[in-house]
Structure formats: structure tokens, C-alpha cells
Amino acid sequence: MTVDVPNIKTASLILRQYYSFNLKERMTSMPYLSEIEKMWIAFQMVYSVSQIHKIGICHGDIKIENFLLTSAGSLLLR
């Protein structure tokens, strides 16, 4: 489908992954996390902090609400 909009030569679309839960919300909702999921999340938390410290960045506000979790179990430090 083509949309003809006068006076506009280019357009951009920015996509970003949707994170439905922060870690605090996910930990308190059903189904609860299994032990292996908890260990995987803990590893990702430590690894993400280690990576930002390695490049010389100090986060300054690390708390459970600043970790975003995907449905696939990947973690993002916000």
C-alpha cells in the first residue's frame, strides 16, 4: 500500500522492542519464575553492570525497577 502525502519527500520509522514488565512486576506475577530462570536473570544483571563499568559508565540508579524483561527472558538495564 502506498500513501501519497504532498510536500513530504522522506519518512522514517523507528522500531523498538516492547518490554511489558520490569523485573519487579514480573517477579510478583504468576506464573512465578523457576529457579533456573532466577539464576539466568541474576547472571544477566551482574553481566550488564559489569559491561557498563568496563566502558567507564556508572549507572547511578541500579534498582529492580530499572531492569526490563522480555517474554524470552532477556534483560535490559534501563
H helices then E strands: how many in the chain? 2, 3
23 close to 38: Cβ distance less than 8 angstroms: no
Catalytic annotation, pick one of 2, 3, 54, 61: 61
Amino acid in position 60 = G
Q: CA dist 74 to 16, 38, 44, Å?
A: 14, 12, 8
Decide if 61 is catalytic.
Answer: yes
- The residues that are catalytic are 61
